[in-house]
């Protein structure tokens, strides 16, 4: 099922300047699930996809290696990474300290909606 690029939630991020600086609002009156995930140095999450949700990741720390589709790179802190449903993705700890990212999931969230394609910990 092709994914419409206009569904990318990064296009809906609201920005507002204030006298003290600015803010960015990632969701507004939407159903979403929000987590902060930590990966330890040298560890890697499964290569996976989801059938029922899209994800928007915001890298919080350096040392986070990200794979989305066929592309792998080290995300910059504050980088926003969009992962459409049915897209292969993973994260790994590539730095000397734990790396974190904020995950905002859009759609039907269920931990059972993880299709693992590769997993070093033997989970199916």
pLDDT at 2: 41
pTM value is 0.84
Number of domains in the chain: 1
In sign, the C-alpha dihedral spanning 67, 69, 73, 75 is negative
In a domain, 54, yes or no: yes
Nearest partner of 85 among 60, 113, 64, 65, judged by Cα: 113
In a domain, 68, yes or no: yes
Report the CATH number that the domain containing residue 100 is assigned in CATH.
Answer: 2.60.120.10
pLDDT at 1: 37
In a domain, 14, yes or no: no
In a domain, 18, yes or no: no
**How far from the centroid of its chain's Cα atoms is residue 104's Cα?**
7
DSSP state of 9: G
Q: Can you give the pLDDT of all 124 residues of the chain as single tens digits?
A: 344 555 787 887 888 998 988 888 888 878 889 999 999 999 999 999 999 999 999 999 999 999 999 999 999 999 999 999 999 999 999 999 999 999 999 988 888 899 999 999 998 7
In a domain, 123, yes or no: no
Query: For residue 52, what are the domain limits?
Result: 31-118
What's the CA gap between 75 and 62, in Å, rounded? Answer: 7
């Amino acid at each position: 099922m092709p994914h419409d690029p206009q569904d990318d939630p990064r296009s809906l991020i609201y920005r507002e300047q204030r006298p003290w600086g600015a803010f960015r609002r990632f969701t507004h009156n939407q159903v979403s699930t929000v987590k902060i995930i930590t990966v330890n140095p040298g560890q890697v999450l499964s290569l996976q996809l989801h059938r029922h949700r899209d994800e928007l990741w915001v890298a919080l720390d350096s040392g986070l290696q990200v794979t989305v589709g066929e592309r792998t790179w080290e995300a910059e802190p504050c980088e926003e990474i969009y992962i459409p449903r049915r897209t292969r993705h993973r994260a790994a700890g590539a730095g000397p300290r734990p790396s974190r990212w904020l995950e905002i999931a859009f759609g039907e969230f269920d931990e059972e909606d993880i299709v693992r394609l590769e997993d070093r910990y033997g989970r199916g």
